[in-house]
């Protein structure tokens, strides 16, 4: 069974631009969560989608948004990028209906210059 796939692995963007990251969950998993990892703040929860609906949201500004498609693939978008958005963005996949066991992708390393 294939694992969680995140694309791209690396991105370099300029301040003020926007970026879209993609996550394909494990087959059969309906929940996708996004996390931001930085040296200063550690791992922080962004949001969770289940069956195309946002079910949970963390404490991030509205510049951070996401969506989920009918095949459970998810995208997250960050608009008006700031230097502080530089981070490793991790996607986690779980069944979502029973058992909160989450499996993570390799992450997308975003650098904002």
Partner 1 sequence: AQSVTQPDIHITVSEGASLELRCNYSYGATPYLFWYVQSPGQGLQLLLKYFSGDTLVQGIKGFEAEFKRSQSSFNLRKPSVHWSDAAEYFCAVNFGNEKLTFGTGTRLTIIP
Sites of contact with partner 1 (CB under 8 A): 4, 6, 31, 33, 35, 42-43, 45, 48, 50, 55-56, 58, 90, 92, 96, 99-107, 109
Ordered alpha helix ranges (H), the chain? none
* CA–CA distance, 5 with 70 (Å, rounded to integer): 17
* Nearest distance in Å: CB 16, partner 1: 27
C-beta closer to partner 1: residue 66 or 96? 96
Q: Residue 94 or 112: which CB sits closer to partner 1?
A: 94
Neighbours of 51 (CB within 10 A): 12
Cβ atoms of 35 and 43 closer than 8 Å = yes
């Amino acid at each position: 069974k294939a694992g969680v796939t995140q694309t791209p692995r690396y991105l370099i963007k300029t301040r003020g631009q926007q970026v879209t990251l993609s996550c394909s969950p494990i087959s059969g998993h309906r929940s996708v969560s996004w996390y931001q990892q930085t040296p200063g703040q550690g791992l922080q929860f962004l949001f969770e989608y289940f069956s195309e609906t946002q079910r949970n949201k963390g404490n991030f500004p509205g510049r951070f948004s996401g969506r989920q498609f009918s095949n459970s693939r998810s995208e997250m978008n960050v608009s008006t990028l700031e230097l502080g958005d530089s981070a490793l963005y991790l996607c986690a996949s779980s069944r979502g209906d029973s058992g909160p066991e989450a499996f993570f992708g390799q992450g997308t390393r975003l650098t904002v210059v």
